[in-house]
A and B are shown apart, each in its own frame.
Chain A
Amino acid sequence: MDFYRSHVLVCGGTGCTSSGSETLIDTFNEEIKKHELEHEVKIVKTGCFGLCEVGPIVIVYPEGAFYAHIKKENVATIVEEHLLKGRIVDNLLYEDAKDDDRVRSLDEVDFYKKQKRVALRNCGVIDPENIVEYIGYDGYKALGKVLTTMSREDVIDEIKKSGLRGRGGGGFPTGIKWGFAYKATGDEKYVVCNADEGDPGAFMDRSVLEGDPHSVLEAMAIAGYAIGARQGYIYVRAEYPIAVKRLEIAIEQARKYELLGDDIFGTGFSFDVEIRLGAGAFVCGEETALLNSIEGKRGMPRPRPPFPANEGLWGKPTLLNNVETYANIVPIILNGSDWFSSIGTEKSKGTKVFALGGKINNTGLVEIPMGTTLKEIIYEIGGGIPNEKAFKAVQTGGPSGGCIPAKNLDTPIDYDNLIALGSMMGSGGMIVMDEDNCMVDIARFFLDFTVDESCGKCPPCRIGTKRMLQILDKITSGKGELEDINRLEELAKNIKESALCGLGQTAPNPVLSTLRHFKNEYIAHVVDKTCPAGVCKELLAYHIDENLCKKCGICAKKCPADCIDGVKGKEVFKIDRDKCVKCGACMEACPFNAISKK
């Protein structure tokens, strides 16, 4: 029997794989064989469902039961109870879904209620290693439609009318970019997909490639037709092995089904795609550096113009888009530009995928219509801040973006609003920070990243960011002077204006935005020599509260520096500040919470 009465979807995204979902699949197969269910139940390995926090995730259809935190030991229970006897295993269900005993499905989980999945439409739904499932969800229908019923101009017009803007961060109108590449003259043109996702905390491109690789291939073929190219390249970093493997499988299957290759759908149009591996350098996500890297040169940016649309790979016209941008193309072709432009805000159409991380309950991947507020994402989808801590700021756009404070939480998210707040959309990393995060330290963290990743070609980025980091180090170690804050700001503004590429130009953003919204914290570090959030080690001192100390001596035993003195049972214990190495072991050990750091 080829018809399965039940489908078990096991998440095979990077998050769930790293918490053991591969062994889950093996165990499911064993158990299903044991109960002779192999002709009734189908196991499907999918891409990321989004709610990585509760992984590994298993969903059983047709009930749509949403199981979370599944371990190897739970598999036998699910097979015996749910698959064999049809009893949903309540204690393994995702917690929020437990209340409702009828539905228990994915759509009813708070995390998904406010989301609208366009780019992620197939992620967690289909088996990414099976082209037939993709075709079953209308895959390659858009390519067929384009090749048989639309002119190249029609395609570009449709994308223009949709209002889609580049999802890699800059937000340039995609249709206009396609138009440039179409108009560029040349006997050979190329289509390139930028899958070099380097922002700390961002993983949406990886998830699309892992969960729905064909959607990117199909969109690239459509782009190839529109601009007149017959060769595409996907530049993906080698740190994404699962994404690379699934892409390889997808390309091979698409060639086998003749959806890539010569004379697609008998229309005479030919297009093929190859993968190019990057070594995981942040700068290679910059378009001109990326093109250099594909050509086998060192990944360094060059001045623009000329833009890649006119002079790209090997000097030929090249269309370059980000993974998420491509993932939006097929739905636009199938549903029309009117449908797409009805989602979102006036100047930012459609949806945006964000990777939620940091101090938030539901870490994971979310896709929301543009115009959703930061508050809705953090509190309604993200489930708020853990441990009843207070929200302090949200960092968007990675090293190119900035921090947005609590007073701006009601801002509807779109390209222009985020820029107005001193941050940016970026690729879509969203890191939430609470009262325990020091904003000076956060700025230092991102600067440290930029200094490491600067390609070194232009002095503002190579020398300037290094100087900024030195000043931040000085401030966080308690040696800062008021003048340093002004120097920092001046330097930041200069780098912004003079760096060669987008990465250098945006590198000072984390510093500028924290200076703008949290200057008081900088001043506390410099003037009062304290770190209000209690992060910057060199500004902290540990202290035992005399009233709370029960004279037990546990802290003294735990202290590796032997700097706590007192007499057990008789005398309050004291810390010798000069000898203290500020490791925090005493604070962790104290059963009475008598030790604090300030």
Chain B
Amino acid sequence: MKSLDELAKIRKEAKNKIDIRDSKGKVRIVVGMATCGISAGARPVLLTLINEVNKRGLKDVVVSQTGCIGVCRLEPIVEVYKSGENKVTYVEMTPEKAKKIILEHIVNGNVIDEYTIGAVQ
């Protein structure tokens, strides 16, 4: 190691990889990954979300998965938790919709109403 910059660079790369272990004060995007969700196509949605978060270098966003939320007919379901705000439930997700959610909701802070469970029901 010949300089502090070199160390900082390694630290930055390593931080991206281990950030997942600290979810305090972060936005949590949870994908329903029960049998119903997976068969409705939740896996590509999950991978798209992860890719987008990673590509944009969103430090404070954690993508995780959960089991069956109960409304199997509307799977794939994605829920977004931001601290201090109500949780938002998106339904009938696709990889394309997932990309939009990252851009509009996570980055710009606007909930996409037409994808939410309220709009569908």
- Please give the residue numbers on chain A whose beta carbons come within 8 Å of chain B beta carbons, in ascending order: 1-7, 9, 40, 61-64, 84-88, 125-126, 132-133, 135-141, 144, 148, 257-259, 263-266
Which residues of chain A are within 8 angstroms of B17 by Cβ–Cβ distance?
2-4, 136
B3 on the A face (CB < 8 A): yes
CB pair B64–A140 under 8 Å, yes or no, is no
B70 on the A face (CB < 8 A): no
A141 to B1, CA, bound (A): 12
Which residues of chain A are within 8 angstroms of B3 by Cβ–Cβ distance?
265-266
List 11 interface pairs A-B (beta carbons < 8 Å), by A numbering.
A4-B20, A5-B63, A40-B47, A62-B23, A63-B64, A86-B34, A126-B18, A136-B11, A139-B11, A140-B7, A266-B2
Residue of A nearest to B68 (CB): A87
CB pair A5–B46 under 8 Å, yes or no, is yes
CB pair B63–A62 under 8 Å, yes or no, is yes
- Among B6-39, those with CB < 8 Å from A are 7, 10-11, 13-18, 20-21, 23, 28, 31-35, 38
CB pair B1–A62 under 8 Å, yes or no, is no
CB pair A61–B23 under 8 Å, yes or no, is yes
CB pair B1–A125 under 8 Å, yes or no, is no
User: Given A87-B34, A144-B7, are A258 and B2 also a contact pair (CB < 8 Å)?
Assistant: yes
User: Given A125-B21, A136-B15, are A86 and B31 also a contact pair (CB < 8 Å)?
Assistant: yes
User: Given A86-B34, A125-B21, are A264 and B1 also a contact pair (CB < 8 Å)?
Assistant: yes
Which residues of chain A are within 8 angstroms of B11 by Cβ–Cβ distance?
135-136, 138-139, 141
In the assembled complex, the CB of A317 is this many whole angstroms from the nearest CB of chain B, namely 27
B89 on the A face (CB < 8 A): no
CB pair B66–A87 under 8 Å, yes or no, is yes
Residue of B nearest to A2 (CB): B17
Which residues of chain B are within 8 angstroms of A148 by Cβ–Cβ distance?
4
CB pair B64–A86 under 8 Å, yes or no, is yes
B67 on the A face (CB < 8 A): yes
In the assembled complex, the CB of B67 is this many whole angstroms from the nearest CB of chain A, namely 4
CB pair A62–B7 under 8 Å, yes or no, is no
B50 on the A face (CB < 8 A): yes
**Nearest 8 CB-CB pairings of A with B:** A86-B65, A136-B14, A87-B67, A86-B33, A62-B64, A62-B62, A266-B2, A61-B21
B54 on the A face (CB < 8 A): yes
Residue of B nearest to A258 (CB): B1
CB pair A85–B50 under 8 Å, yes or no, is no
A563 to B38, CA, bound (A): 69
A148 to B17, CA, bound (A): 28
In the assembled complex, the CB of A498 is this many whole angstroms from the nearest CB of chain B, namely 51
User: Given A125-B21, A133-B14, A135-B10, are A144 and B66 also a contact pair (CB < 8 Å)?
Assistant: no
CB pair B20–A7 under 8 Å, yes or no, is yes
A5 to B54, CA, bound (A): 10
A85 in complex: contacting residue of B2, B7, B63, B67, CB < 8 Å: B67
Q: Mark B30-59, 1 if CB is under 8 A from A, else 0.
A: 011111001000000011001100100000
A138 to B7, CA, bound (A): 9
CB pair A85–B14 under 8 Å, yes or no, is no
CB pair A141–B7 under 8 Å, yes or no, is yes
Which secondary structure characterizes the binding site on chain B?
helix
User: Given A61-B20, A61-B21, A135-B10, are A265 and B66 also a contact pair (CB < 8 Å)?
Assistant: no
CB pair B21–A3 under 8 Å, yes or no, is no
CB pair A136–B50 under 8 Å, yes or no, is no
CB pair A64–B23 under 8 Å, yes or no, is yes
CB pair A85–B34 under 8 Å, yes or no, is yes
CB pair A136–B18 under 8 Å, yes or no, is yes
In the assembled complex, the CB of A416 is this many whole angstroms from the nearest CB of chain B, namely 36
Residue of B nearest to A9 (CB): B21
CB pair B64–A259 under 8 Å, yes or no, is no
Which residues of chain A are within 8 angstroms of B7 by Cβ–Cβ distance?
135, 140-141, 144, 265
User: Given A86-B31, A86-B64, are A137 and B18 also a contact pair (CB < 8 Å)?
Assistant: yes
A126 to B17, CA, bound (A): 11
Residue of A nearest to B29 (CB): A62
A3 to B16, CA, bound (A): 8
A266 to B3, CA, bound (A): 6
In the assembled complex, the CB of B23 is this many whole angstroms from the nearest CB of chain A, namely 5
A6 to B63, CA, bound (A): 9
In the assembled complex, the CB of A119 is this many whole angstroms from the nearest CB of chain B, namely 19
CB pair A132–B14 under 8 Å, yes or no, is yes
CB pair A3–B50 under 8 Å, yes or no, is yes
In the assembled complex, the CB of B53 is this many whole angstroms from the nearest CB of chain A, namely 9
Residue of B nearest to A259 (CB): B1
A5 to B32, CA, bound (A): 14
Which residues of chain B are within 8 angstroms of A62 by Cβ–Cβ distance?
20-21, 23, 28, 62-64
A87 to B33, CA, bound (A): 8
User: Among the interface residues B14, B18, B20, B64, which one has the most CB atoms of the partner chain A within 10 A?
Assistant: B18
Which residues of chain A are within 8 angstroms of B20 by Cβ–Cβ distance?
4-7, 61-62
Which residues of chain B are within 8 angstroms of A61 by Cβ–Cβ distance?
20-21, 23
A432 to B20, CA, bound (A): 37
A33 to B51, CA, bound (A): 21
CB pair A86–B32 under 8 Å, yes or no, is yes
A290 to B76, CA, bound (A): 63
User: Among the interface residues A3, A133, A137, which one has the most CB atoms of the partner chain B within 10 A?
Assistant: A3
In the assembled complex, the CB of B60 is this many whole angstroms from the nearest CB of chain A, namely 12
In the assembled complex, the CB of A475 is this many whole angstroms from the nearest CB of chain B, namely 54
A139 to B7, CA, bound (A): 9
Which residues of chain B are within 8 angstroms of A87 by Cβ–Cβ distance?
33-34, 66-68
In the assembled complex, the CB of B34 is this many whole angstroms from the nearest CB of chain A, namely 6
11 more A-B contacts (CB under 8 A) besides A87-B34, A135-B11? A3-B50, A5-B50, A6-B20, A7-B18, A61-B20, A64-B21, A86-B34, A86-B67, A264-B1, A265-B1, A266-B3
User: Given A84-B33, A86-B33, A86-B34, are A133 and B18 also a contact pair (CB < 8 Å)?
Assistant: yes
Residue of A nearest to B28 (CB): A62
A62 to B64, CA, bound (A): 6
User: Given A5-B63, A86-B67, A87-B66, are A135 and B14 also a contact pair (CB < 8 Å)?
Assistant: yes
